Chain A
Amino acid sequence: MISRRQFLQATAAASMLASASGLGPLGRAAAQQRLSQADITRFDALGRLTILHVTDVHAQLMPLYFREPSVNLGVGDANGKPPHLTDKEFRAHFNIAAGSADAYALTSDDFVALARNYGRMGGMDRIATLIRSVRAERGDDNVLLLDGGDTWQGSWTSLKTNGQDMVDIQTALRIDAMTSHWEFTLGHERVKEIAEKAPFAFLAQNVRSLEWQEPVFEPRKIYERGGARVSVIGQALPRTAVANPRWMFPDWEFGIREDDIQKQVDESRAAGADVVVLLSHNGFDVDRKLASRVKGLDVILTAHTHDAMPGVLKVGDTILIASGSHGKFLSRLDLDIRDRKVSGYRYKLMPVFSDAIAPDPDMKALVEKIRAPFAADLSRELGRTESLLYRRGNFNGTFDDLICDAMLTERDAEISLSPGFRWGGTLVPGDAITFEAVANATAMTYPNCYRTEMTGEQLHAVLEDVADNIFHPDPYFQGGGDMVRVGGVGYTIDVSKPVNQRISGLTELKSGKPLDASRKYVVAGWASVNQNTEGPPIWDVVEKYLGRVKTVRLEPNTSVSVKGA
């Protein structure tokens, strides 16, 4: 007879072992360059219930390169803790060998060489294969498939079909439930229309009608799987109305609504739930704090901040999972339910290596059908890159440097601003820059590239405001996303300081002179949350610029100096 305590220890030891060589035997196989689907799906099953989690796909139907951040700072309690580790520290923490498949999937250094070796990741037809394999192994009735949101936005096809392409994919994958963030930027009517018709649940306990404070969506749903009653509570991004244009959903309010989550948990238990899962789009640090304050959550499936961790993080009895983004990973969590309680778990972050996984034929056909009407646009070559083009990272990325340069040139501006989005693929040196690649970094419903005037003081205030959104020591005051990217200007940031004291040394790069607080500068930017913003869509601006320069070559960006990390 094994006690529960011993069992948990054994499980923990097992997961330590699993992460000791990174993603299990994968690292060794990779070293011999013989990745197989079996290496990826291999799992020592536990109990009867399996939860699969995919999130922040950002409408990526096809395999792509996606470089994880080299700078991903944590502040306050999150400082130096996973997932706020990068490269060497990340590999040391999770026992990952440099140069291995897991190092390629999860860290950023040596990305170009490893990308050539290990290839693209993701692709909905590969995800479909993995899901099918787990369902075959465990039985349909024992598997719950959950989508953390940010699924309907991020590609040309999702923009052009108002998210219908991804709804069709989710339907074909037979997802059980999803929650939401960027979905809301399709506008309230469209979101309601899909949520009401879709064969899966659209769960969001924290969205209320502005005037009456009534729930807009179903807050939770109970599923009978693996012989257990599993309550899934949905949590949309609490900061949607601040992070995205509120006029697109003018009658809705969001917020964390911690007390209401507690109520949902308590009601779930009263309704006979054995397991309570928060399908969350809060972002990792918010969920880490929330787990310490809301009682009775067994699992939080995190999203929004695009973190990927090859192991769970436990806060009290709550298991936190971070499943990455862009279809790069599919999480599998097996739960052993005894006496109507979670008595053990086993977890694997399955990396979706597109070269190793056989595409599911049905899904492959669906993806081709979705893409066919847009084939000419998607494949149109706009230029080529000699540099690595990536976005993810707290302060800058070369893809945004390209977008900022395009705005400076095409909109004849002194300063350009590009939002710190975490979505958008990566291109390796030698790649063609297709319209699809540009759309993957820009496709959204408020793309207008404005041209306006701002004083040095105003720009300073913007940078301070955005910095506080990322580096506020209390995660409940953070909104997710990275620092706004700036073209034409450099600055120093001390992330340890409070609001309005972080940014200093604003310098105009061309002249090398400090920015004049009272002088007006011509500023171009895109993705303004204000209604009726005027200007061409950002993808047109980038296309025009690429038509001019043809070949992109970018030096490492040294215009932002970071202190206090």
Chain B
Amino acid sequence: MPTLLKQGSRREVLAAGGLAALAALLAPRMAFADEKAVEAELKKLYGDKKFETGRIKLDVPQIAENGLVVPINVEIESPMTADDYVKAVHVFADGNPQPGVVSYRFTPECGKAAAATRMRLAQTQNIVCVAEMSNGKLYSTKSEVKVTIGGCGG
């Protein structure tokens, strides 16, 4: 992974002449998703069902250190027994070209409903995480991640 990272940032620099991060922030602005796109995805999955708060521990940085690989950790509070478990977790980003980031499906045998990955974020935006329980209950939470040009430290 580190090698890939290095090459990624280098390619950007060569392409944008030293203002890579800026270009990344500005270039695709017209093609971004928005809150409505995320809502539409949720409607496709769950219709008009209501979401509750709680249960989801969504761990994303406040400020992305590298917008190309932003770490995300999710964990859903659940006994994970045959009659009470987490069926699915979906993650959306409302400022990327496509809102879908990742979907996980769980079974009671998983023992724990937790997952971690990295995602690319094109700009400052909200990460929306929803969890579907075996009894049909839905939970959601959201967290903003700032993607910045960087530079200029004290």
Using CB atoms and an 8 Å cutoff, list the residues of chain A in contact with chain B: 150, 181-182, 210-211, 237, 239-244, 246-247, 250-251, 253-256, 283, 304-306, 419-423, 450, 452-454, 457-458, 461-462, 465-466, 468-469, 476-477, 479-482, 484, 499, 527-534
Contact = CB atoms under 8 A, between A and B. Distances in A.
A255 B150 contact: no
Scoring B14, B62, B64 by chain A CB atoms within 10 A of each residue's CB, the highest score goes to B62
B13 to A, nearest CB: 5
A530 B150 CA distance: 10
Interface in B80-107: none
Contacts of B25: 461, 465
B17 A452 contact: yes
A461 B71 CA distance: 25
Contact of B153 (A210, A211, A253, A421): A421
Contact of A422 (B19, B71, B154): B154
A244 B64 CA distance: 13
Given A210-B5, A255-B65, A480-B154, 14 more contacts: A239-B63, A242-B150, A247-B10, A250-B2, A253-B71, A283-B154, A421-B154, A452-B17, A461-B26, A468-B146, A469-B148, A479-B148, A529-B21, A533-B18
B47 interface: no
Scoring A422, A482, A528, A533 by chain B CB atoms within 10 A of each residue's CB, the highest score goes to A528
A457 B149 CA distance: 14
Contact of A458 (B26, B65, B148): B26
In the A-B complex, the 6 residue pairs with the closest CB atoms = A243-B153, A241-B65, A480-B154, A419-B152, A422-B154, A481-B154
Contacts of A305: 154
21 contacts: A150-B154, A241-B65, A242-B63, A243-B153, A247-B6, A254-B65, A421-B153, A454-B19, A458-B22, A462-B149, A466-B149, A468-B148, A469-B152, A479-B63, A479-B148, A479-B152, A481-B154, A499-B124, A530-B18, A530-B21, A531-B9
B108 interface: no
A477 B147 CA distance: 11
B18 A250 contact: no
Contacts of B2: 210-211, 250-251
A530 B16 CA distance: 10
Nearest to B25: A461
A28 to B, nearest CB: 34
Contacts of B9: 246-247, 530-531
B54 interface: no
A531 B153 contact: no
A532 B13 contact: yes
Nearest to A485: B152
Nearest to B124: A499
B22 A528 contact: no
Contacts of A479: 63, 148, 152-153
Contacts of A534: 18
Contacts of B64: 242
Contacts of B30: none
Interface in B109-154: 124, 146, 148-154
Contacts of A469: 148, 152
A528 B153 contact: no
B151 A243 contact: yes
Scoring A243, A529, A532 by chain B CB atoms within 10 A of each residue's CB, the highest score goes to A529
A404 B18 CA distance: 18
A453 B65 CA distance: 26
B23 to A, nearest CB: 8
A348 B148 CA distance: 38
Nearest to B59: A259
A454 B20 CA distance: 12
Nearest to B3: A250
Scoring A211, A243, A452 by chain B CB atoms within 10 A of each residue's CB, the highest score goes to A243
Contacts of A306: 154
Scoring A211, A253, A479, A481 by chain B CB atoms within 10 A of each residue's CB, the highest score goes to A479
Interface in B10-66: 10, 12-14, 17-22, 25-26, 61-66
Given A465-B149, A529-B151, A253 B65 contact: yes
A243 B150 contact: yes
Contacts of A242: 63-65, 148, 150
Given A210-B2, A250-B5, A452-B19, A531 B10 contact: yes
B18 A452 contact: yes
Contacts of B6: 247, 250
Contacts of B148: 242, 465, 468-469, 479
A420 B152 contact: yes
A477 B62 contact: yes
B25 to A, nearest CB: 7
A14 B149 CA distance: 47
A182 B153 CA distance: 9
Given A481-B152, A484-B152, A210 B1 contact: yes
A557 B21 CA distance: 29
Scoring B21, B26, B66, B149 by chain A CB atoms within 10 A of each residue's CB, the highest score goes to B149
